[in-house]
Amino acid sequence: MRIDIISAVPSLMESPFSHSIMQRAQDKGLLEIVLHDLRDYGLGKHKQIDDYQFGGGAGMVMMIEPIATIIEQLKAERNYDEIIYMTPDGKRLEQKQCNYLSLKQNLIILCGHYKGVDQRVRDLYITQEISIGDFVLSGGELAAAVLVDSIGRLLPGVLNDESSALFDSFQDDLLAPPVYTRPADYQGHKIPAILLSGHKKKIDDWRDEQAYLRTQKLRPDLLDES
Ligand code: ADE
Q: What is the mean pLDDT of the chain?
A: 95
194 CA from centroid of ligand 1 (Å): 43
* Alpha carbon distance 205, 177 (integer Å): 11
pLDDT for 101 equals: 98
Q: What would the pLDDT profile of 184-208 be if each residue is shown by its tens digit?
A: 999 999 999 999 999 999 999 999 9
Q: Helix, strand, or coil here: 64?
A: helix
Closest ligand 1 atom number to CA of residue 87:
9
Q: Helix, strand, or coil here: 4?
A: strand
Q: Does the interface predicted TM-score (ipTM) exceed 0.90?
A: yes
pLDDT for 33 equals: 97
Q: Are 17 and 27 in contact (CB under 8 A)?
A: no
Q: What would the pLDDT profile of 106-136 be if each residue is shown by its tens digit?
A: 999 999 987 899 999 999 999 999 999 999 9
Omega prior to 183 cis, within 30 of 0 = yes
Residues 22-40: what's their mean pLDDT?
A: 96
130 CA from centroid of ligand 1 (Å): 8
Q: Are 24 and 149 in contact (CB under 8 A)?
A: no
- The whole-model pTM stands at 0.93
* Alpha carbon distance 32, 139 (integer Å): 22
* Alpha carbon distance 85, 73 (integer Å): 17
Q: Is the pLDDT of residue 163 over 80?
A: no
Amino acid present at 212: Y
* Alpha carbon distance 99, 202 (integer Å): 29
pLDDT for 166 equals: 72
106 CA from centroid of ligand 1 (Å): 22
Write out residues with Cβ below 6 Å of ligand 1: 86-88, 112, 131-133, 135-137, 140, 143
- 162 pLDDT band (50/70/90 cuts)? low
